[in-house]
């Protein structure tokens, strides 16, 4: 490997000659060789959007020349096109303000722009970072990345799974089954009603997620080092936010109080709470499905799900609910990430939070895992759910909790006696009720029919 000598305020350092990054990036790369977690690509994309908008705003305010603006914008567009993806090597476990990633982007933009121009035109601090500080750009990039990840990837994935459940409801209309509460038999319901519960959970989660983005649409840009906006000309923040909005199609604005924007990560905590709520519901749905599909002979067996791969290295023919297992593991990870996001957000000291990289790393991992997990679950499991009508009918007929329909006719205590007799003698509820002399066969059938009509949708 060949090297070149770069300098910064700390002095000289050797940098790999084939890369565009500079001295500050290299110092971070050497000093923070920690773990395998690198700064997420969503953050680099967000920085490219931000640096492009900042260059436009600085040009409009007379701070950059047309050539300088054009050079910065051109490299930002290369980054957005994925042409420079190997130029951002830094670990998540770096300075808590994300300064080194901000400088990584600044250095790559300036060196690449100078290469294209064939001369030294741009300085990473003086031009690319003009009117900015890492303390306002990193939290701005965090919000941009979070909003785009949720709106562009997670919300569409969630909408697709909701649509799958809609189709399952329609395809399983009119099928009665036994309900269950406390893992015990309960009164009957339609299978389509059970599915509708799953669907509405996800619809509500989708609304929560979209609502949670409102706080993330407010950006720290313009606050510079401590929130006062030192070195940022008047109008820069609003112009930069407008430029970010034009590029993303989202309604970003500059936060009215930059002191809040730099030190508080409450909007990310709030939004990740919606991710955790989604994870909780996905855990419940996946568990319901694998319980209902348990078997094939010794479980509930009320539904079948797609068989995707062998389930055992020793038991021939075994097939497991693997998509449910993957989704529930994802749910656990997201819940754990919520703890990390909340704890990171609590560490704002004075004018700056210095746990920002780990905060956004966990947030984006949650979005990525949920998106991919939902897509996989919908394609390889949920879309192939089918009711085992015979088993559902058999279980419902054997359920003792259908005795609840007798309450209005013979009272709770007598209905309980019917259940105990039916269970003890292993006979039907009807037979037990007739044996006890509480209802004749005709009245029993009328009571059951009336109850079913009452709960029909």
- Please give the angle made by the CA atoms of 12, 16 and 18, to the nearest 5 degrees: 135
Backbone angles phi, psi at 4, to 5 degrees: -125, 160
Concatenated DSSP letters of 328-354 = HHHHHHHHHHHHHHHHHHTTEETTEES
Which contiguous run of DSSP H or E holds residue 304?
strand 303-304
| SS3 label, residue 109 | helix
Instruction: Phi first, then psi: give them for residue 381, nearest 5 degrees.
Output: -135, -70
Q: Which two tokens stand for residue 424?
A: 């003890």
Select from 53, 103, 44 the least CA-distant residue to 79: 44
3-state helix, strand, coil in the chain (%, to 5): 65, 10, 30
Could you tell me if residue 295 is left (phi over 0), alpha (psi between -120 and 50 degrees) or otherwise beta?
left
Contact 227, 259 (CB under 8 A): yes
**Is residue 246 a contact partner of residue 50, using CB atoms and an 8 Å limit?**
no
For the record, the structure tokens of 89 come out as 């090597």
The answer to whether residues 16 and 107 touch, using CB atoms and an 8 Å cutoff, is no
Residues 357/92, Cβ–Cβ less than 8 Å: yes
Q: Verify whether residue 312 is a known catalytic residue.
A: yes
| CA 402/CA 419 separation, integer angstroms | 9
Is the backbone peptide bond immediately before 186 cis, with ω within 30 degrees of 0?
A: no
Contact 244, 123 (CB under 8 A): no
- The conformation of residue 294, written as its DSSP 8-state character, comes to -
Q: Reduced to 3 states, what is the DSSP secondary structure of residue 37?
A: coil
Candidate list 211, 251, 312, 449, residue with the active-site label: 312
Contacts of residues 12-16 at CB distance under 8 Å and 24 or more positions apart, as own/partner, are: none
Dist CA 54 CA 195 (whole Å): 48
CB 266, CB 215: distance < 8 Å? yes
Active site residue 182: yes
Catalytic machinery residues: 182, 312
């Amino acid at each position: 490997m060949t090297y070149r000598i770069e300098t910064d305020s700390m002095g000289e350092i050797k940098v790999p000659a084939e890369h565009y990054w500079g001295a500050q990036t290299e110092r971070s790369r050497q000093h923070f060789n920690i773990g395998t977690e690198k700064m997420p690509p969503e953050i680099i994309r967000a920085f490219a959007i931000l640096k492009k908008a900042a260059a436009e705003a600085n040009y409009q305010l007379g701070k950059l020349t047309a050539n300088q603006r054009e050079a910065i914008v051109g490299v930002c567009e290369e980054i957005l096109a994925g042409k420079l993806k190997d130029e951002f090597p830094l670990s998540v476990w770096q300075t808590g303000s994300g300064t080194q990633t901000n400088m990584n982007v600044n250095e790559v933009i300036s060196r690449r722009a100078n290469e294209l121009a064939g001369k030294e035109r741009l300085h990473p601090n003086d031009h690319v970072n003009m009117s900015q500080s890492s303390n306002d750009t990193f939290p701005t990039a965090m919000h941009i990345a979070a909003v785009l990840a949720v709106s562009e990837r997670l919300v569409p994935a969630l909408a697709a799974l909701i649509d799958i459940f809609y189709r399952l409801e329609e395809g399983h209309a009119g099928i009665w089954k036994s309900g269950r509460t406390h893992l015990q038999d309960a009164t009957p319901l339609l299978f389509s009603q059970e599915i509708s519960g799953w669907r509405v959970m996800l619809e509500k989660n989708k609304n929560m997620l979209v609502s949670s983005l409102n706080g993330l649409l407010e950006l720290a840009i313009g606050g510079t080092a401590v929130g006062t906006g030192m070195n940022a000309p008047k109008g820069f923040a609003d112009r930069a936010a407008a430029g970010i909005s034009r590029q993303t199609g989202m309604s970003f604005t500059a936060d009215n109080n930059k002191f809040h924007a730099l030190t508080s990560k409450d909007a990310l905590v709030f939004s990740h709470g919606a991710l955790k709520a989604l994870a909780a519901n996905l855990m419940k749905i996946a568990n319901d499905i694998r319980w209902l599909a348990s078997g094939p002979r010794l479980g509930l067996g009320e539904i079948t799900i797609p068989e995707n791969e062998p389930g055992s290295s020793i038991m021939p023919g075994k097939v497991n609910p693997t998509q449910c297992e993957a989704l529930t593991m994802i749910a656990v990870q997201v819940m754990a990430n919520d703890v990390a996001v909340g704890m990171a957000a609590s560490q704002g000291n004075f004018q700056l939070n210095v746990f920002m990289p780990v905060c956004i790393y966990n947030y984006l991992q949650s979005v990525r895992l949920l998106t991919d997990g939902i897509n996989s679950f919908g394609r390889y499991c949920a879309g192939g759910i089918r009711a085992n009508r015979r088993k559902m009918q058999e279980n419902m007929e054997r359920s003792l909790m259908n005795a609840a329909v007798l309450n209005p006719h013979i009272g709770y205590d007598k209905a309980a006696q019917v259940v105990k007799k039916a269970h003890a003698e292993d006979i039907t509820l009807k037979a037990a009720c007739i044996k006890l002399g509480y209802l004749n066969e005709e009245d029993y059938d009328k009571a059951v029919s009336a109850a079913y009509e009452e709960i029909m949708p």
